[in-house]
Amino acid sequence: MNDQSDRRFSGILRRVLPAPVREKLFSGREDAHGKELVKGGLVSLLFKVFGMAFGYAFTMLITRTYGAHTMGVFTLFITVLNIVSIVGRLGFDTALLKFVAEYSSRDRMDLARDVYLKSFRTIIPFGIGLSLLLYFASPHIAARLFGKGYLGPYFQMASFAVVPFSLLFLNAESLRGLKKIKEYSFVQDMAIPLLATTLLAFSFLFTKGLLMPFIVYLVSIFAAFALSLFLWLRRIPAAPAGNGERVELKAVLKVSLPILVSGSLYLFMGWVDKIILGIYASESDVGIYNIALKVSTLTSLSLLAVNSIAAPKFAQCHGSGDTEGLRTIAQQSTKLIFWSSAPVLALFFFFPSFTLGLFGMEFRAGAAALLMLTVGQFINALTGSVGYLLQMTGRQRVFQNVMLFTVITNLALNLTLVPRYGMNGAAFATMCSVILLNMIPFFLIRSHYGFFTFSPAVVFKVAGQRRGRGQGREKEQ
């Protein structure tokens, strides 16, 4: 996205957003960090929105053509692929984000290339091993874990995509480390749903075989990987140009493995509430809670968008020892996240029953759950990018320990509250977990770096500026 298109998109937002939110969101763009955060965040948000739209279109093509059963099978197919690929990445994707951002800021692309190649060469054999394991274990997983042997061939199909899917994330995060947000956002958020939707719609001209959604999705993964590799190879030197210095694989693993553990624990925490609720409550309660959860996390879209540019900037400032720059980026990020989330959070908080009623009258039963989940997301917006800040500044093991404590707490609360309070117990457990996962790092950052990510002086800066301008005019008169 060039400067002209960025200004055009910013102009649209200025016209659409309410005046108070617009002024808060766009104030401070004269600051270099603030301007880059706004621009990168807007680009990322744009691609995420289009990616979601194509994702919904792909889902509608499946449901309208094949029905709910095939959609359910496809959901399990994607779930298995995601789980195995998370393990297959070994945390190298987020580690590369840190290393590439840090080394590029020091003009040491030879070291960035070295770290990438070591990660690439490690993931390929490990991923092939996982693919073979999944392929041969698929019949047993389908029959014994799910009790549905017919799922086996679909899981076997997923095994062929483990390596390219893992490497796609590797390339995307490397591009993100270079702050190539346009390329990163396209391959990470939009490429697969765009290709899959286009190919599936085109395939209907010839056949509507039951395997077509799975085949076109696999083809889309391979195509997106090839594109991501092409974009990355354009950015790195063909041969080392440094002084012969190299990065040890052990040093990379020291960063990547705690990130792998944190990511796995976060994934587990996302399942616990629904699994335990499914054991103790009705399917209807699980469905209502799931909708309330999805609605509440809509506000995290702005967090993800801002993180796309904030994370590499954290790593760059840490690599150069710029604590003041780290503070500025963290607080500016929180400001953007807070004001872009505030209107939606207010809607969910004050009108939870109305919001859920849009999905059907029966979903209004989840109003109390949505209220609690919204409180958790409010704290999430208020604290900003605390997890990435710790991970990008060498505190990934600290964040891993926070994640472990949060997961244990979440599990204990769900086991205690869900049998008695149902979906409201699950919502309370999730709310507490989100608060812990954000507030503990919030204070740890203050302890390690001497600042809070939330600063009232930064977040509410416009009001102070207005008073200052008003006083200035009075003196002139």
Each domain of the chain, given as residue ranges in start order, spans 48-247, 253-464
- Which residue is it, tokens 């705690």? 258
Round to whole Å and give the CA distance between 306 and 294.
20
> How far, in Å, CA of 318 to CA of 379, rounded?
25
Give the Cα separation of 53 and 190 in Å (integer): 9
Answer yes or no: is pLDDT of 228 > 90.
yes
Identify whether the C-beta of residue 22 lies closer than 8 Å to the C-beta of residue 13.
yes
Higher pLDDT, 275 or 296: 296
Closest listed residue to residue 164, CA positions, set 104, 118, 219:
219
Report the alpha-carbon distance of residue 256 to residue 321 in Å, rounded. 21
> Is it the case that residue 6 has pLDDT exceeding 90?
no
pLDDT at 463: 41
What's the pLDDT score for residue 137? 92
115: nearest Cα among 134, 130, 94: 94
Q: What is the pLDDT of residue 302?
A: 75
pTM, two decimals, is 0.74
Closest to 319 in 3D by CA, of 128, 104, 55 = 104
Distance, in Å, from the CA atom of 28 to the CA atom of 343, rounded to the nearest integer, reads 20
pLDDT surpassing 70 at residue 38: no
pLDDT of residue 92: 87
**Residues 369, 364: Cα–Cα separation, whole Å:** 10
Say if residues 274 and 150 touch (Cβ distance below 8 Å). no
Q: Which residue has the tokens 């799931």?
A: 290
What average pLDDT does this structure show over 77-82?
85
Average pLDDT over residues 111-135: 91
Residues, the chain:
477
**Tens of pLDDT along 44-60?**
778 888 888 888 888 88
3-state helix, strand, coil in the chain (%, to 5): 85, 0, 15
Q: Kindly indicate the confidence band of residue 24, based on its pLDDT and cuts at 50, 70 and 90.
A: low
- Report the helix count and the strand count for the chain, using DSSP H and E: 22, 0
Q: How confident is the model at residue 319 (pLDDT cuts 50, 70, 90)?
A: confident
Torsion of Cα atoms, 271 then 274 then 275 then 276, to 10° = 120
**Between 182 and 284, whose confidence is greater?**
182
Measure Cα distances from 357 to 350, 362, 424 in Å: 14, 7, 17
Model confidence pLDDT, tens digit, residues 349-386: 898 888 888 777 888 888 999 999 999 989 988 888 88
Q: What is the pLDDT of residues 143-163, one digit of tens each?
A: 887 777 888 899 999 999 999
Neighbour tally for 405: CB within 10 Å? 15
Higher confidence at residue 311 or residue 11?
311
What percentage of the chain has pLDDT greater than the value 70?
86
* Beta carbons of 112 and 177 less than 8 angstroms apart: yes
* 135 confidence band (pLDDT: 50, 70, 90): very high
Q: How confident is the model at residue 14 (pLDDT cuts 50, 70, 90)?
A: low
pLDDT in tens, 320-355: 788 888 888 888 888 888 888 888 888 888 988 888
Confidence of residue 36 (pLDDT cuts 50, 70, 90): low
